[in-house]
Amino acid sequence: MKSLPLFSVAGLILGSVATAAAQVPGFTLDAVTFDENGKGTYQQNNNPSASLSFAIGPSGVLTYSLPFAVTPGDVLINDSPAGVASDIGDILRFTANNTVEFYSASGPNDPADALADKAPFPTRNSFSANAFTINEVGSEGSNGVFYIPAAGQPGYNSKVTVTTYGVISDAPIPEAASSVSLGLLLMLGGLVVVARRRKAA
């Protein structure tokens, strides 16, 4: 059976998430999506989405500016379907300056053809003490991660109920990505529970 692209699946449940959010008093959902080439969006609840600004830092790292404060730390993205710990292919580095730096590893089978590939990939001894590992999901050419940080984890925003991050690592975000952002919440539910239990074990 042919699998649907990552964001197409999220789009199927967009309506359900929007309805659920509207029915919970005081519920606030910040949804952020971005890719390896400077395309990113921010959306809160059902409000119109806005583009994220980005810059290339002094070391060549792709850096997105976030419209809220976050807990600093590294999200380590595991490229291996089997979850092999040595296969960290991407890093999201949240900073105290309300930014997220996107590092992507390149190699013989993965040329440095995106903005996130340009900066030197951080070495393991430079990873943040506040680091969280999550496995990449999706089919080749449309894969990435969905991440919902808990209190104290990298990227956590204490001002809202839930913050979600959707990251495409192998392809730019489609034009329709901004209308799909809210769909990340339900899609991620099981993955996030598993990830948090793994970290706590």
- 200: confidence class by pLDDT, cuts 50, 70, 90: very low
Per-residue pLDDT tens digits for 108-120: 566 677 899 999 9
| Mean model confidence pLDDT for the chain | 75
Q: Which residues contact 184 (CB under 8 A, 6 or more apart)?
A: 10, 31, 33, 146, 148, 164, 165, 166
Buried b (16+ CB within 10 A) or exposed e, 90-114: bbbbbeeeebbbbbbbeeeeeeeeb
Q: What is the rounded average pLDDT of the residues 141-148?
A: 80
Measure the CA–CA gap between 71 and 127, rounded to whole angstroms. Answer: 15
Task: Give yes or no for a contact between 128 and 119, defined as CB atoms under 8 angstroms apart.
Answer: no
pLDDT reading at 5 higher than 70: no
Amino acid at 20: A
57-82 confidence digits (pLDDT tens) = 889 999 999 999 999 999 999 876 55
> What band does 11 get if pLDDT is binned at 50, 70 and 90?
very low
Q: Calculate mean pLDDT across residues 101-106.
A: 91
Count Cα neighbours of 7 within 13 Å in the Cβ-side half-sphere.
24
Instruction: Give pTM, 2 decimals.
Output: 0.75
Q: How many CA atoms lie within 13 A of 104 on its CB side?
A: 24
